[in-house]
Amino acid sequence: MTEVSSIKRSRIILALDLTHKSNLHSALTTISLLEGCICAIKLNFHLILPLSGSELSEVNRLVHSYGLQSIADIKLNDIPSTNKIAISHLLHMGFDAITVNPFIGEAGLRAVVGQAHGLKGGIIALVYMSHVGARLGFGINFLASNNQVTSLYQKFFQDAMACRVDGVIVGANRLKILKEISLKKDGIPIYSPGLGTQGGNIKKAAISGADYFIIGRSIIDSKDPLKTAKSLQHQIELTTTPNRINNAD
């Protein structure tokens, strides 16, 4: 992702969550229109469910022809045998990485990371999502085995670090948590959704530690998606990173 981002001069991951036109033609057209302004696409169930396996492979071939990366955002969270099948199918369809929910535990997370890496794929772990109800799950406190009170997201991050995932997801609208995680990430990139529609601000998120910006509706639902994507790309490019933690609001 670092290499692609450098070549494309973009840290935008397009959340291709098409709602009104969830078909192959719309997906391919949107990617072709915006490929110069992004470094990757993220497919959620908006397209993974309506498209066939061969159609998803076609989407990923187009993505790769533009030198982009492709993420399957399924938030995988199941028993080991099911996780194994899901990862195998998705990576063979051409996805480069898969999002995983650390509720599967450290052993489960380690297994999916090992499998994905063996197939030349990556795993991106959820640490704190951007939606309104995230604090009711990721923000819950519990008594850990060392008798210390900790938050679920802190445990998820610890497991992600221990298993050497390829990235973690922290909402761009969770600035305090974003800053906290960025201070401890040890080279693991932070992917941040929740910009625009969910209230996240690019500059504040960048200053707080976001490395890649997952943006969907702000681009796709705009009157001129290409113009909007270029504007957002420029905003991110202008954002400086030195001393970003100390300068955050």
The CATH number assigned to the domain holding 77 equals: 3.20.20.70
Identify the pLDDT of residue 144. Answer: 77
- Which residue range forms the structural domain that includes residue 44? 2-247
Residue 157 and residue 45: Cα distance in Å, rounded?
25
Collect all residues with Cβ–Cβ distance below 8 Å to 118 and sequence separation of at least 6: none
* pLDDT beyond 60 at 237: yes
pTM (2 d.p.):
0.91
Is 75 an active-site residue? Answer: yes
Residue 175 and residue 218: Cα distance in Å, rounded?
20
Q: Contact, 23 vs 82, CB < 8 A? A: no
pLDDT digits (tens, 9 = 90+) for 80-115: 999 999 999 999 999 999 999 999 999 999 999 999
Catalytic residue among 8, 21, 42, 75: 75
Among 17-26, 82-91, 183-192, top mean pLDDT goes to 82-91
Residue 233 and residue 228: Cα distance in Å, rounded?
9
Helices 24-34 and 53-65, interaxial angle, to 10°? 10
